[in-house]
C-alpha cells in the first residue's frame, strides 16, 4: 500500500505522469485488482470512446505482465499469491472429520468473462478479480448456481430422486419468502482460486503465459442503450464502437472444492454424482459467467481416473442416492400459517418442520374438524407427528391426535 500511495502521489505531478504511463512500469504491481481499479490518471471525457483513453491500454498490458508465468523471474504478484495459494491448497487437501470433500482442478477451454459491467472500476469493469489476492477466480456461488440450473433441467426432463420431484431444492437449498423459512443445501462450494502454475501449453514453447487476455467487443447501438431521452431507434447503419476488455485466458486453471457436512455413504455417493455429472456437464456444455451463448465460459474438469469412469458411464443414478428415512412419531406443537396454508411442527430436540402446499392441504383435511377449528384460530395444537428425513431436509408425512392430550 505504501508503494501504491507513492505511485499515486507521483502521478499527480505533471512531470512524472508520462513516465508512469510507460509500458515498462517497474516494479510491476503486486495487486492487479488495485492496479486496474485505482491507477487511472486521466479522467475519461464525455463522448470519448473507451479505447481512445490514453491509459487504458497501458493498464491492461501491465496487468497481464503482472501475472505472467514462466521465465526466469516471476512478478511480485505471482510470488506473493503463490504462498497464499499453497496454504489454501493445504487446507483443501487436509482431512476434516465429519466432512466429505472433493478437490479437483478445472481448465478453461475458452475465454471466461465474469462481471463484465460492474461499473465499479475505472476501466469499466470487464473482469472479476479476487478482492484480497487480485487474481481471477470463480465464485463458489456461481459454481453452485450452474449446478442448480443443470439440476433444474434434469428435473424438467422428469429425472426424479427416489420419487422426490423437488430434489434440486434438497441438494442446493432455497431461500425463504415471507414467514416461510429457507433451508440450506447439502453442499458448499468454495471460491475456485486460480492455480498459479503454467498449463501444459508452456511445454510447447509458450513461456509467457498469463491468465489474462485482452478481448474486444463491438457494441453497435450505444445511444439507444445509454440515452434516457430522445433515444434513436437501433439501426443496421449504426457504427460499431470497439472496446478492449480483459478476460480469463484459455488454459487458465482453477482449484474447485465441493464439500458436505452431512454424514453417510449416500452423501459421499451423491457428492461424487454432483461433481462428475452436474458440475462437469455444466462447465463443459453450459459454461459459467457472461456471454456463454457466444461460447465463453467453458471449462474441463480434471477428474481422477475412478471419477472419470463414473462420469463416462453417465454418472451415478440419482434415484439410488437419496433415500427417505422415516422417523418415529413425536408429540409436537402444530400450527397453521393462514397466509400460505403451511403447517409447522415444533418438535423438542429436532426443531421446526414445515410442510407446504399441496401436501399440507391433504394432511389438514384429514384432521378432525375440532383440530381444524383450533388451528384456524391461529392457535397451536399438540399432535403426534410422523416425519422423515431426505438428505438434510425434514418433512411431515402424518399427523394424528395425541391420545394423552385433553380433548378439544
- Domain presence at residue 200: yes
- Measured distance CA(164)–CA(190) in Å, rounded: 27
Q: What is the model's pLDDT at position 328?
A: 78
Do 315 and 353 belong together in one domain?
no
pLDDT band at residue 250, thresholds of 50, 70 and 90?
very high
- Domain presence at residue 407: no
Q: What is the CATH number of the domain that holds 380?
A: 2.40.50
Strand partners, 325: 389
Digit-coded pLDDT (tens) for 359-384:
788 889 889 888 899 999 989 989 98
Q: What is the model's pLDDT at position 87?
A: 95
Do 102 and 236 belong together in one domain?
yes
Residue-by-residue DSSP string for 210-275 = -SEEEEEE--S-HHHHH-SSSPPPP-TTPPP--EEEEEEPTT-EEEEEEEE---SHHHHHHHHHII
- Domain presence at residue 1: no
- Domain presence at residue 21: no
C-alpha cell at 191: 471460491
Do 281 and 397 belong together in one domain?
no
- Domain presence at residue 348: yes
Whether 68 shows a pLDDT value over 80: the answer reads: yes
Do 203 and 305 belong together in one domain?
yes
- Domain presence at residue 262: yes
Do 312 and 369 belong together in one domain?
no
pLDDT band at residue 22, thresholds of 50, 70 and 90?
low
Q: Look at residues 319, 350, 380 and tell me which one is the last residue of a structural domain.
A: 319
Do 348 and 265 belong together in one domain?
no
Digit-coded pLDDT (tens) for 149-168:
988 887 776 655 555 567 78
Reduced to 3 states, what is the DSSP secondary structure of residue 347?
strand
Whether 249 shows a pLDDT value over 70: the answer reads: yes
What b/e string do you get for 1-25 counting C-beta neighbours within 10 Å, with b at 16 or more? eeeeeebeeebeeeeeeeebbeeeb
Strand partners, 336: 343
Closest CA to 399 of 350, 361, 373: 361
Q: Look at residues 319, 353, 376 and tell me which one is the last residue of a structural domain.
A: 319
Q: Look at residues 293, 319, 345 and tell me which one is the last residue of a structural domain.
A: 319
Do 332 and 307 belong together in one domain?
no
Do 240 and 374 belong together in one domain?
no
Entry pTM: 0.69
Digit-coded pLDDT (tens) for 309-340:
444 444 444 544 455 667 778 888 999 988 87
Closest CA to 307 of 275, 282, 260: 275
- Domain presence at residue 64: no
Do 384 and 256 belong together in one domain?
no
Do 260 and 350 belong together in one domain?
no
Do 124 and 186 belong together in one domain?
yes
Residue at grid coordinates 456461488: 141
Q: How many CA atoms lie within 13 A of 35 on its CB side?
A: 30
In this structure, of 93-97, 157-161, 259-263, the range with the lowest mean pLDDT score is 157-161
For residue 378, the enclosing domain spans: 325-401
Whether 253 shows a pLDDT value over 80: the answer reads: yes
Digit-coded pLDDT (tens) for 202-246:
544 556 789 999 888 777 777 787 777 888 888 888 888 777 888
Number of compact structural domains in the chain: 2
Contact between 158 and 148 under an 8 Å Cβ cutoff? The reply is no
Do 148 and 263 belong together in one domain?
yes
Q: What is the DSSP letter of 397?
A: E
Amino acid at each position: 500500500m505504501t508503494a501504491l500511495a507513492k505511485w499515486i502521489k507521483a502521478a499527480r505531478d505533471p512531470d512524472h505522469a508520462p513516465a508512469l504511463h510507460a509500458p515498462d512500469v517497474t516494479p510491476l504491481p503486486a495487486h492487479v485488482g488495485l492496479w486496474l481499479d485505482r491507477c487511472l490518471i486521466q479522467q475519461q471525457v464525455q463522448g470519448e470512446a473507451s479505447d481512445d483513453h490514453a491509459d487504458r491500454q497501458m493498464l491492461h498490458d501491465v496487468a497481464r505482465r503482472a501475472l505472467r508465468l514462466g521465465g526466469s523471474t516471476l512478478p511480485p504478484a505471482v510470488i506473493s499469491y503463490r504462498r497464499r495459494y499453497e496454504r489454501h491448497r493445504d487446507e483443501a487437501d487436509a482431512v476434516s472429520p465429519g466432512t466429505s470433500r472433493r478437490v479437483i482442478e478445472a481448465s478453461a477451454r475458452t475465454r471466461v468473462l465474469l462481471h463484465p459491467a460492474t461499473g465499479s472500476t475505472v476501466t469499466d469493469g470487464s473482469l472479476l478479480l479476487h478482492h484480497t489476492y487480485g487474481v481471477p477466480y470463480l465464485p463458489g456461488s456461481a459454481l453452485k448456481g450452474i449446478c442448480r440450473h443443470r439440476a433444474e433441467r434434469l428435473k424438467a426432463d422428469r429425472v426424479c430422486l427416489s420419487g422426490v420431484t423437488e430434489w434440486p431444492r434438497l441438494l442446493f437449498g432455497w431461500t425463504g419468502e415471507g414467514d416461510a423459512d429457507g433451508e440450506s443445501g447439502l453442499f458448499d462450494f468454495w471460491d475456485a482460486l486460480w492455480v498459479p502454475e503454467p498449463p501444459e501449453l508452456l511445454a510447447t514453447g509458450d513461456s509467457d503465459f498469463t491468465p489474462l487476455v485482452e478481448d474486444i467487443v463491438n457494441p453497435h447501438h450505444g445511444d439507444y442503450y445509454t440515452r434516457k431521452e430522445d433515444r434513436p431507434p437501433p439501426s443496421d447503419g449504426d457504427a460499431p464502437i470497439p472496446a478492449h476488455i480483459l478476460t480469463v485466458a484459455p488454459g487458465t486453471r482453477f482449484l474447485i472444492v465441493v464439500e458436505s457436512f452431512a454424514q453417510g455413504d449416500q452423501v459421499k455417493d451423491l457428492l461424487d454424482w454432483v461433481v462428475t455429472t452436474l458440475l462437469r456437464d455444466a462447465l463443459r456444455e453450459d459454461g459459467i459467467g457472461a456471454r456463454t451463448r457466444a461460447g465463453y465460459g467453458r471449462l474441463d474438469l480434471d477428474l481422477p481416473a475412478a471419477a472419470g469412469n463414473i462420469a463416462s458411464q453417465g454418472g451415478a443414478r440419482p434415484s439410488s442416492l437419496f433415500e427417505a428415512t422415516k422417523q418415529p412419531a413425536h408429540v409436537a406443537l402444530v400450527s397453521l400459517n393462514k397466509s400460505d396454508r403451511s403447517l409447522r411442527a415444533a418438535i423438542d430436540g429436532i426443531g421446526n418442520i414445515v410442510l407446504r402446499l399441496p401436501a399440507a392441504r391433504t394432511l389438514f383435511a384429514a384432521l378432525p374438524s375440532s383440530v381444524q377449528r383450533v388451528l384456524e384460530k391461529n392457535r397451536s395444537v399438540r399432535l403426534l407427528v410422523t416425519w422423515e428425513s431426505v438428505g438434510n431436509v425434514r418433512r411431515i408425512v402424518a399427523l394424528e391426535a395425541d391420545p394423552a392430550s385433553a380433548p378439544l
